[in-house]
């Protein structure tokens, strides 16, 4: 038996013993645990699952144990992810800290920043939000204007961030700010860690046409941030942001693997196909099969990229590729289910709809958001064209 086989068996045994049966079912809408200082649980099982995974260090399985991580290598981390997925375990918590800023601090943070922030992220005790987008800077992120002016050992921050997910319940924000207006567009940007309880920070939730949303707009009015909270050197923010967006895209390309609230695509498709109009059934069946094959091919491709990475091949450019494929496949799967369900899927709420059908319309709409968040599909294609394929910009 190889070490990997033994490790897989030990993970399987541990998960069988420690993941409560109720945590092996898709969570209801809103039934996920958000890391942070305002932790709350829907059930005893949800709390047990959170605490057991936390104590294993498996919120951040590949981080060093001294920062509260699991100390696993890349192969072991992948085995853990596969076993969590195989058992259909729910994600024990959602935490942008672990997915995004944590890896950047591990690579580029000061020893003080690592000691202050990583253990709280790895234990799910501190919630982080991302302050990148601004009213005039989304895809063109380097056009950001939020200004940080140096005043002794502090920066004084003025401006606004928008589309900041869950800012109203987060403890800290990692943000891109302009520290030098005279430098070039990319050169004048720095990354700051901002305590959301600082005087001058205000958060306004944004309502959308579909109702309440998790988006917020955050305003900074002469907010004082210690220079010690700057990650990397002044002006290094753009390089750090690129690294962070790579981590974000990698994390997003795994969405759906671990039972985030979702629909069992094949189970629902099997249920709906016999009910569909006989004339269009062959075409719909073809779409279902294509979607299932795309998903399978996607899993094999990520596995191949993982093996290539282990063999020393640079696979960093593939993060954009996987983010693009995963979010577009996910959208297509929901489109297929909507086509299968026809007018039955148009219900929004009410007792007439069973659970999955009720979720469908919302999740179909939601599937589009993944093609925007973390950089739109068009931007991923631009990145692929330039950085992976080496094509010239603007066709020139």
Based on CB atoms, which residue is closest to ligand FAD, 132 or 220?
132
CA atoms within 13 A on the CB side of 17: 7
Residues binding ligand FAD (CB under 6 A)? 129-133, 138-139, 163-165, 369, 372-373, 375-376, 378-379, 382
State in angstroms the smallest separation of the CB of 299 from ligand FAD. Answer: 24
Based on CB atoms, which residue is closest to ligand FAD, 109 or 375?
375
State in angstroms the smallest separation of the CB of 167 from ligand FAD. Answer: 8
In DSSP terms, 258 is beta-bridged to: none
Based on CB atoms, which residue is closest to ligand FAD, 293 or 365?
365
**Lookup: tokens for 157:** 């921050």
In DSSP terms, 148 is beta-bridged to: 157
State in angstroms the smallest separation of the CB of 379 from ligand FAD. Answer: 6
Q: Which of 249, 243, 263 is CA-nearest to residue 324? A: 249
Based on CB atoms, which residue is closest to ligand FAD, 37 or 369?
369
How many C-beta atoms surround the C-beta of residue 71 within 10 A? 14
State in angstroms the smallest separation of the CB of 138 from ligand FAD. Answer: 2
State in angstroms the smallest separation of the CB of 147 from ligand FAD. Answer: 17
Based on CB atoms, which residue is closest to ligand FAD, 133 or 179?
133
State in angstroms the smallest separation of the CB of 172 from ligand FAD. Answer: 13
Residues 6+ apart with CB under 8 A from 354: none
User: What is the torsion angle, in degrees rounded to the nearest 10, for the CA atoms of residue 389, residue 392, residue 395 and residue 396?
Assistant: -160
Based on CB atoms, which residue is closest to ligand FAD, 285 or 373?
373
State in angstroms the smallest separation of the CB of 360 from ligand FAD. Answer: 18
Based on CB atoms, which residue is closest to ligand FAD, 84 or 383?
383
Based on CB atoms, which residue is closest to ligand FAD, 160 or 164?
164
State in angstroms the smallest separation of the CB of 276 from ligand FAD. Answer: 31
Identify the sign of the CA torsion 92, 95, 100, 104. Answer: negative
Residues 235/190, Cβ–Cβ less than 8 Å = yes
Cα–Cα distance between 347 and 330 in angstroms, integer? Answer: 21
Closest CB to ligand FAD: residue number: 138
State in angstroms the smallest separation of the CB of 40 from ligand FAD. Answer: 21
């Amino acid at each position: 038996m190889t070490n990997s086989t033994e490790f897989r068996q030990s993970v399987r045994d541990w998960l069988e013993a420690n993941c409560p049966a109720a945590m092996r079912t898709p969570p209801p809408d809103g039934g996920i645990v958000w890391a942070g200082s305002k932790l709350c649980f829907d059930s005893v099982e949800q709390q047990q699952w959170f605490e057991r995974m936390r104590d294993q260090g498996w919120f951040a399985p590949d981080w060093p144990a001294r920062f509260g991580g699991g100390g696993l290598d890349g192969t072991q981390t992948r085995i853990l992810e596969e076993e969590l997925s195989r058992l259909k375990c729910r994600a024990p918590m959602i935490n942008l800290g672990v997915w995004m800023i944590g890896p950047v601090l591990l690579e580029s943070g000061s020893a003080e920043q690592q000691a202050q922030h990583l253990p709280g992220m790895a234990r799910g005790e501190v919630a982080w939000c991302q302050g990148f987008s601004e009213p005039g800077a989304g895809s063109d992120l380097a056009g950001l204007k939020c200004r940080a002016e140096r005043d002794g050992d502090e920066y004084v921050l003025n401006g606004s961030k928008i589309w900041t997910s869950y800012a109203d319940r987060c403890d800290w924000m990692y943000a891109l700010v302009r520290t030098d207006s005279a430098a070039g567009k990319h050169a004048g940007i720095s990354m700051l860690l901002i305590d959301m309880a600082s005087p001058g920070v205000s958060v306004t939730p944004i309502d959308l046409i579909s109702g309440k949303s998790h988006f917020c707009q955050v305003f900074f009015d002469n907010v004082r941030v210690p220079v010690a909270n700057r990650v990397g050197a002044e002006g290094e923010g753009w390089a750090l942001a690129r690294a962070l967006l790579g981590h974000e895209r990698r994390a997003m390309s795994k969405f759906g693997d671990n039972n985030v609230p979702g629909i069992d695509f094949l189970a629902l498709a099997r249920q709906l196909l016999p009910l569909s109009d006989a004339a269009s059934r062959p075409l719909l069946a073809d779409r279902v099969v294509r979607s299932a094959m795309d998903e399978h091919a996607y899993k094999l491709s990520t596995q191949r990229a993982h093996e290539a990475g282990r063999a020393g091949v640079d696979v960093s450019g593939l993060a954009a590729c996987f983010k693009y494929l995963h979010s577009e496949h996910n959208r297509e799967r929901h489109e297929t289910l909507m086509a299968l369900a026809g007018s039955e899927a148009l219900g929004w709420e009410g007792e007439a709809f069973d659970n999955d059908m009720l979720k469908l319309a919302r999740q179909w709409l939601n599937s589009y958001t993944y093609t925007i968040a973390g950089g739109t599909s068009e931007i991923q294609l631009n990145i692929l064209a330039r950085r992976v394929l080496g094509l010239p910009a603007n066709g020139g």
